[in-house]
Amino acid sequence: MKIGSNEEGIGTVVGANVRLQGTLKDTNDISVYGTVEGEVISDKMVIIADTAMIKGPVTADIITVSGEVKGSIEAKTKLEILPSGKVNGSITCQTLIIQSGAKLNGKSTMAGIKSDENVQKEEKTETNIHKEKDENIKKNILDDSDIELE
């Protein structure tokens, strides 16, 4: 990357010799080669290079990790963890690619697919709704009918 280049999509770059504290937010791509203590948010892509270390949540449309992340990762479209990538934290994404050698230590949630816990909760809720309906039907029959059941 040349200094002062106005190429679209490059957005923010954190060099390998830079340590950053705070919230790093950009509508364009963010490339991290250095250390970030705080949140990283992009509307497009976040590239975490092999020299990078991020302590904090990362949110973007597409995230590529070849460095280290201690915090949650939320990728709206795709998350790719490259062989040198290390993630300690929960991940949420639609498409997940973990290459051989990558390390992931945390909970994974795939967007658009219900987890087992959520499915069980929904099944219980549906069962309760059906039970209520049945009881209401029985009540209505008993109320409306003048015929005594033998």
Partner 1 sequence: MYFYIFENSKANREKKIQEKAKQIIAELGISGENVTPNPARSIDELIDIGLTKGFSTFVGIGSDIFANKIISSLLSNKKNCEEDKPVFGFVPTDFDKSQIGKIINVTNIENACKSLRFRTLKTISLGLAIPNKYFITPLTINSQFPFSVHLILPNLEAVGSATQIKITPDINISFSDNNLGNSGIQKLLNIFKGEKMTYSEKYSSRFTTDALKLVCEPSIPVNLENEIIAKTPIQIKRIDNHLQIIINRGTIAVE
Q: What is the distance between the alpha carbons of residues 99 and 127, in angstroms, rounded to a whole number?
A: 41
Q: What is the distance between the alpha carbons of residues 150 and 148, in angstroms, rounded to a whole number?
A: 6
The yes or no reply on residue 129 touching partner 1 (CB under 8 A) is: no
Give the binding range for partner 1 (CB under 8 A) out of 22-30, 53-61, 77-85, 90-98.
22-30
**24, two tokens:** 């790093």
**80, two tokens:** 């790719």
The yes or no reply on residue 20 touching partner 1 (CB under 8 A) is: yes
Q: What is the distance between the alpha carbons of residues 78 and 15, in angstroms, rounded to a whole number?
A: 24
Q: Is the dihedral of CA 20, 21, 25, 31 positive or negative?
A: positive
Evaluate whether 32 touches 14 at the Cβ level (below 8 Å).
yes
Interacting residue with partner 1 among 45, 46, 49, 69 (CB under 8 A): 49
Interacting residue with partner 1 among 51, 88, 92, 109 (CB under 8 A): 51
The yes or no reply on residue 130 touching partner 1 (CB under 8 A) is: no
Question: How many chain residues are in contact with partner 1, going by CB under 8 A?
Answer: 27
Min separation Cβ 30 and partner 1, Å: 10
Min separation Cβ 124 and partner 1, Å: 43
The yes or no reply on residue 53 touching partner 1 (CB under 8 A) is: no
List of residues 6+ apart from 100 with CB closer than 8 A: 83
Q: What is the distance between the alpha carbons of residues 48 and 114, in angstroms, rounded to a whole number?
A: 28
Measured from the CB atom, the residue of 27 and 118 that comes closer to partner 1 is 27
The yes or no reply on residue 43 touching partner 1 (CB under 8 A) is: no
The yes or no reply on residue 112 touching partner 1 (CB under 8 A) is: no
- The site for partner 1 (CB under 8 A) is made up of 1-4, 6, 10-26, 33-34, 38, 49, 51
